[in-house]
Amino acid sequence: MIGGRQLPLSCAEAGHSSPARAEESCGATRGDRVRRGRSVPHAAKLPLSGDPFIDAQDWEVKGLAIDLKEGGPARAVANVTFTNFGEARHVRLDLIKTAAGWRIDDIHWRQGSLRGLYKK
């Protein structure tokens, strides 16, 4: 929770009835743009081979826990731990507050970060 509010991890989790309504309300997130191949030159060549939110291609997520720490008035970090097919996983979400609300700024997992894929 930030400011007494539970944060949705995506626009879809915010309860919007359609992708168009979600984008209208939330704006296109980096993940939305990557999924649609926008704003990433040669998106098909990115070395992303799984879902960055779970650090895997397939999932059977159990024991989900989110430790949210505020890092100032417009920043926060969510350390997400869970097991996937019995293997312990950790994903860190860097969050920023925008005029439209809280957004994921970067996703970190074992082998790097989503933002780091853009820098290669």
Q: Mean pLDDT: which of 36-50, 51-65, 72-86, 103-117 is highest? A: 72-86
**42 exposure class (CB count in 10 Å sphere: 0-12, 13-18, 19+):** exposed
What residues contact residue 62 under an 8 Å CB cut-off, 6+ apart? 82, 83, 84
User: Which amino acid is present at 108?
Assistant: H
The per-residue pLDDT for range 13-50, each reduced to its tens digit, is 444 455 555 554 455 555 555 555 555 455 455 566 77
Among all chains, which residue has been given the structure tokens 């984008």?
23
* Domains in the chain: ranges and CATH: 12-118 (3.10.450)
The mean pLDDT value of the chain amounts to 75
